[in-house]
Structure 1
């Protein structure tokens, strides 16, 4: 259930615990939530979008610096054409509805992943949101769109290889920082806590490099039911953990 994270610093909170600077969530269980209610899958995704609204604001209020949500993975293209279309439509609806409110709440919207693989309308909306909120100083709200950690690392390695081939980088100078500064998350705080909902216990190609020393938390709650209290409970659990970073 638990792992360790990439950096020992974190923010103090009331009660002697610590608030993780960077929280990432694999939002799982929308389909099962809908199935249990005899609803179509899109109803589960719509309920999941409402959970996103709740959790973003809760994370901001609780002092989290960065919240990364796995909104659409590079593997999600394998789903039915109808479901992919529904998800894309829901993402566009969410962005249209939320950009102004995020901006008014001092939340900075960011994206990670290969946006070139998405539709032009969705990319334009995402870029509009990023541009509109770029000067905000509160929570960094990061949407992982068409994201896959293996693809992210492959892109980093290809960039390094091209510099080596061009003679501008020596193989002897390649180190951890050479990878990290080329990752999509390069200007975000190190990942402290990774949560997966719905009872599944795998990372599903999400932030694999960043999770090397992250605390891992797997909860049975389906994503549409993951609310402010669920996030508070997750942060409380994080605050009880002793992080050794391989030192002992």
Structure 2
């Protein structure tokens, strides 16, 4: 049995917060993506095992989603596990997967947000994949934020999966020539894990790293990026507000 998480209570917004309800001096992102980085570094700094860092990071997810909900950000993507992370030490990976499954269960139990798994669950242990899939199914009709949780996710494999699904469909139908004539960015986007959703307006990466690390390579072509030295378990309301305020001051040009 996995160790139960005690979710971190969200801190309330100050009355003059740039993202407090009714206070919107700058544009807000419609879709916020967060690379949840720095759990191990946080644990190392405190002399704790990596598992404690993962648990601390897991407790912070509920608070972030609550802030997004209060601010009126309707789409959120969280990335706790890449395909590359699957190569970690077996014991450490077991602890991380246990925390991720616990987070899915607890978010589903809150009945506040609609969960969507993006990534290849076939790469996970069957019991873990089933828990995650079951949590997603329990929220299928929930009204609230659309929350993507990227598990065993790779930006490259996301695009590959989209293109492969188109090819397989048209090969089976004998319409490959039609596919070649109609292939477009929009058609590929319709087969990505995030099909039907707006692309991320803002990507936050915690822990001080300043790279994408194979995250949503297609969807973030015109996203704004915000890098903070704060490790994910310490990411608080002030950090969130600073990121949103910084985004609101930027002039987005979408490559023009």
TM-score (norm 2): 0.86
Larger mean CA deviation between 200-209 and 150-159 belongs to 150-159
2:78 partner SS: strand
Q: How does 1:162-177 map to 2 (within 5 A)?
A: 162-165=168-171, 166-167=174-175, 169-177=178-186
- Per-residue CA distance 1:183-228 (angstroms, 9 max, x = gap): 0000222211111111101101110000000001111111101122
Give 1:8's aligned residue: none
Matched positions, count:
233
Q: How does 1:48-127 map to 2 (within 5 A)?
A: 48-101=57-110, 103=111, 105=112, 107-127=113-133
Structure 2 vs 1, CA of residues 186 and 100 (structure 1 numbering), >3 Å: closer, same or farther? same
Match of 1:145 among 142, 151, 173: 151
Q: How does 1:1-248 map to 2 (within 5 A)?
A: 14-101=23-110, 103=111, 105=112, 107-165=113-171, 166-167=174-175, 169-247=178-256
Contact 1:13/1:19 (<8 A) preserved: no
For structure 2, which runs of at least 5 residues remain unmatched after alignment? 1-20
Contact 2:105/2:132 (<8 A) preserved: no
* Residue 50 of structure 1, CA deviation: 1.2
Higher RCO (C-alpha under 8 Å, 6+ residues apart): 1
* Residue 245 of structure 1, CA deviation: 1.4
Looking at structure 2, the residues matched to 157 and 99 of structure 1 have their Cα atoms a distance apart, in angstroms, of 31
